[in-house]
Chain A
Amino acid sequence: MIGKLLSYDPPKSRVLGVVLAIIVLGLALAPFLFPGAAAINTAAKICIFIVLVASYDILIGYTGIVSFAQTMFFGIGGYGVGLSLYFLGPTWPVLALGIVIALILGVALAFVIGLVSLRVKAIFFAMITLAVASAFLILATQLSELTGGEDGRTFRVPELLRPGTKLLEAPLFGLEITGRIAAYYLVFLAALALFLVALRLVNSCFGRVLQAIRENESRAEALGYRVVYYRTLASCLSAALAVCAGVLSAIWLRYTGPETTLSFAIMLDVLLMVVIGGMGTLYGAVIGASLFILAQNYLQKLMGVASAATEGFPLLPRLLHPDRWLLLLGVLFVLSVYFFPTGIVGRLTQRARK
């Protein structure tokens, strides 16, 4: 049963299995385990980024395509749902309409980019995605009547998901069950389902062809696989998954704007999460996204504690001062890439093989 759910591709090392189980359990029970708005925000962000990073790994890790447009599709999901809800009212049918529009737009765009540029050199494809994504970002900020420009749009979600909605009379395990909790579980369950679908995809016969293309393009071609067709399809599927992540993000934040969905800073974060977790393994997306977002949110606090604890030592408290958190984050990245060139998951499975 579990085997089938995981597409017969279970984590290949015990440590990895345990860590993944802790992450999934932690996310499943987050509202109860870690009360407070900040903690549940972090948990929701992890869920959303797991899907986004997984979608990116299908491209870069499984198919060997380098793209810089993943946040554009993320943004299309966010804006599609956000603007629909903003202009047409906060109802479920409008939400569904927004999702459909965003999916069609995202997949169509991925298809066109793929068709135009996937038959040529990989570097050319990367450049095209960079150009299209920049153009899209500019477009989204310029069309301010529609998109709200730099400020983005704040909108309302269907009533069930609003913070003001009370779903249960009495608190459950000491937690007030509001629409916010419902929204969290919507995000969590959707992310879980999307992740499992992605896992099925990469472990299907179709996914195996993608890996074959990554491994040896000309051999795949000599077996009769039309490489351009598979690459284009992979980038459409990856785009669809990123659109879904964007939809979840919009539902959770009740806001969409260029900073939170389209910016290249996020693209860079996604890239780092893939590398840290490990390319070519979807479990890497779970590890990478969780670790990165936790570090982003809690490193500063941790450093405050460490800085206070090392009071009296020379230099250390000043190095560990919370203001230097970005520096420390950078150092941690360099170290992790240096010591785990195949990512954390890659490293763990290698050890398990020996």
Chain B
Amino acid sequence: MSVPVLETRDLTIRFGGHVAVNAVSTGFRAGELTAIVGPNGAGKTTYFNLISGQLPATSGQIFLDGEEITALPPSARAQKGIGRAFQITSLFPNLTVHENVRLAVQARSRHAASLTRLWSSHREWIERAERALEEVNLHNQRDTLAAALPHGDKRKLEVAIMMALEPRVFMFDEPTAGMSVDEVPVILDLIAKLKARGDKTILLVEHKMDVVRSLADRIIVLLNGTLSADGDPAEVTASAAVQEAYLGVAPKRGAAHG
């Protein structure tokens, strides 16, 4: 087996007495889509926050390509190729849709901060941003302020920003939550296409088990911050851990089996 691109070792965070992520050790390989499931409050988002640097680990380590990144600030981790789409939509509300995405395109460039290029128009950045918007079907709202978008479009923009960043590790945190039924396929297609490229490491937090089963190469289950199951989709969905995990979420017992 190839070495993992991203790896966490005994990763732990404690909020006061509450251990939100408890000694999680696992790795994520290139070309692999791992779904992370677990009931509300299991620590999935917190685990993401530890990886992308929004929260500091209480103990444990994080490695990207074998290099330890545990102490790096979020900006440095992003520059090394960790991309994040947030569960709670996090946009630049008073900038246009296009500007939101272009900021991500620009962030990858060495010249992002350059003052010597004040007068250049950066055509290629603009075009790359436009392509990212087409991928999520937002190109017609190019000049709308992000704050003025309906909820579903905000979710799409959230994803488009990460896509435009072109990271090596993609972290989707419930990307389709709150979207209307006809909007969901756009996002799922996009994730499927991303997976088909075969060289990206994809982490997906998702409650809808049918989505998880159709996309995931592997499922890990978090329960109260602890990694409680890890394996291929068929195996894990059938296991007791998942049924237990989804007791609180699924309307009926056994819903995880579909």
A residues contacting B by CB (< 8 A) are 200-201, 204-206, 208-209, 211-212, 215-216, 218-227, 229-230, 233
Which residues of chain B are within 8 angstroms of A223 by Cβ–Cβ distance? 75, 78, 103-104, 107, 161, 165
- Interface mask (B122-155 → A, CB under 8 Å = 1, otherwise 0): 1001000000000000000000000000000000
Q: Does B102 contact A (CB under 8 A)?
A: yes
Contacts of A224 in B (CB 8 A): 75-76, 78-79, 107-108, 165
- Give chain B residues whose Cβ lies under 8 Å from the Cβ of A218: 54, 74, 90
Considering the chains assembled together, what is the distance between the CA atoms of A220 and B107 in angstroms? Answer: 9
Q: With the chains together, A209 CA to B75 CA distance in Å? A: 13
Judging by beta carbons under 8 Å apart, are B93 and A216 in contact?
A: yes
Q: Distance in Å from the Cβ of B91 to the closest Cβ of chain A?
A: 7
Q: What's the least CB distance linking B5 to chain A, in Å?
A: 18
Q: Give the interface of B toward A (CB within 8 A).
A: 52-54, 73-76, 78-79, 84, 86, 90-95, 99, 102-104, 106-108, 111-115, 117-119, 122, 125, 161, 165
Closest 7 CB pairs of A and B: A224-B78, A215-B92, A223-B107, A224-B79, A224-B107, A204-B118, A219-B90
How far apart sit A218 and B125, CA to CA, in the bound complex (Å)?
A: 22
Whether the pair A219, B78 counts as a contact (CB closer than 8 A) is: no
Docked CA distance A219–B111 (Å):
19
Contact indicator B113/A222 (Cβ below 8 Å): no
13 contacts between A and B (CB under 8 A): A205-B125, A206-B113, A209-B106, A211-B95, A215-B92, A216-B91, A218-B74, A218-B90, A219-B92, A222-B84, A223-B103, A224-B107, A233-B115
Q: How far is the CB of A8 from chain B (nearest CB, A)?
A: 9
A206, A211, A219: the one contacting B115 at CB < 8 Å is A206
Residue pair A208, B95 in contact (C-beta under 8 Å): yes
Q: Are B92 and A216 in contact (CB under 8 A)?
A: yes
* CB-based contact A215/B94 at 8 Å: yes
Choose one: B73, B104, B114; the contact of A221 (CB below 8 Å). B73
Known contacts A204-B115, A212-B92, then 12 further A-B pairs from the complex at CB < 8 Å, ordered by chain A residue: A204-B118, A205-B125, A208-B99, A208-B106, A209-B113, A211-B95, A219-B92, A221-B78, A222-B52, A222-B74, A224-B76, A224-B79
A227 close to B106 (CB less than 8 A): no
Nearest chain A CB to B51 CB, angstrom units = 11
Minimal beta-carbon separation of B191 from chain A (angstroms): 19
Residue in B86, B102, B107, B122 whose CB lies within 8 Å of A225:
B107
Q: Is the CB of A226 within 8 A of B75?
A: yes
Contact count A vs B, C-beta below 8 Å: 85
Main secondary structure of the interface of B (DSSP, over half): loop
- Across the interface, name the chain A residue whose C-beta is closest to B145: A353
From A216, A227, A230, name the one whose CB has the most chain B CB atoms within 10 angstroms. A216
Residues of A within 8 A of B94 (CB): 211, 215
- Contact for B74 among A201, A209, A211, A221, CB less than 8 A: A221
Q: Kindly state the separation between the CA atoms of A31 and B78 in the bound complex, as whole angstroms.
A: 55
Q: Are the CB atoms of A233 and B99 closer together than 8 Å?
A: no
CB pair A225 B75 closer than 8 Å: yes
CA distance A205 to B104 in the complex (A): 11
Query: Are B92 and A211 within 8 A (Cβ)?
Result: yes
B104 touches A208 (CB 8 A): no
Residue among B76, B92, B115, B161 with most chain A CB within 10 A: B92
Q: Which A-chain residue is minimally distant from B90 (CB atoms)?
A: A219
Residues in B whose Cβ lies below 8 Å from that of A225: 75, 107, 112
Task: Tell me if A215 and B165 are in contact (CB < 8 A).
Answer: no
Q: How far is the CA of A223 from the CA of B90 in the complex (A)?
A: 11
Say whether B112 contacts A205, CB under 8 Å.
yes
**Centre residue among B118, B119, B122 by max chain A CB count within 10 A:** B118
Question: B residues within 8 A CB of A211?
Answer: 92, 94-95
- Give complex CA distance A130, B84 in Å: 38
- In Å, the complex CA distance between A226 and B53 comes to 13
CB distance from A168 to the nearest CB of B (A): 37
What residues of A have a CB within 8 angstroms of the CB of B99 in the complex?
208
- A206 & B103 in contact (Cβ 8 Å cutoff): no
Closest B-chain residue to A205, C-beta based?
B106
For the complex, what is the distance from the CA of A205 to the CA of B165, rounded to whole Å? 16
**Which of chain A's residues have a CB closer than 8 A to the CB of B111?**
205
A220 to B108, CA, bound (A): 12
Residue of B nearest to A201 (CB): B118
Given contacts A224-B107, A225-B75, A227-B75, contact A209 B92 (CB under 8 A): no
Whether the pair A206, B107 counts as a contact (CB closer than 8 A) is no
Expressed in whole angstroms, the Cα–Cα distance for A290 and B44 within the complex equals 54
- B156: shortest Cβ distance to chain A, in Å? 16
Residue among A206, A215, A230 making CB contact with B118, cutoff 8 Å:
A206
A224 to B122, CA, bound (A): 19
- Shortest beta-carbon distance, A125 to chain B, in Å? 19
Hey, which chain A residues are within 8 Å of B103, CB to CB? Answer: 208-209, 212, 220, 223
Within 8 Å by CB of B112, from A209, A216, A222, lies A209
Q: Which residues of A contact B115 (CB under 8 A)?
A: 204, 206, 233
Chain A residue nearest to B102 (CB atoms) is: A208
Complex CA–CA separation, A212 to B95 (angstroms): 8
Alpha-carbon distance A224/B165, docked complex (angstroms)? 9
| Cα-based distance from A226 to B72 in the complex (angstroms) | 12
Distance in angstroms from A183 CB to nearest chain B CB is 29
Residues in chain B near residue A229, CB distance under 8 A: 113
Residues of A within 8 A of B104 (CB): 223
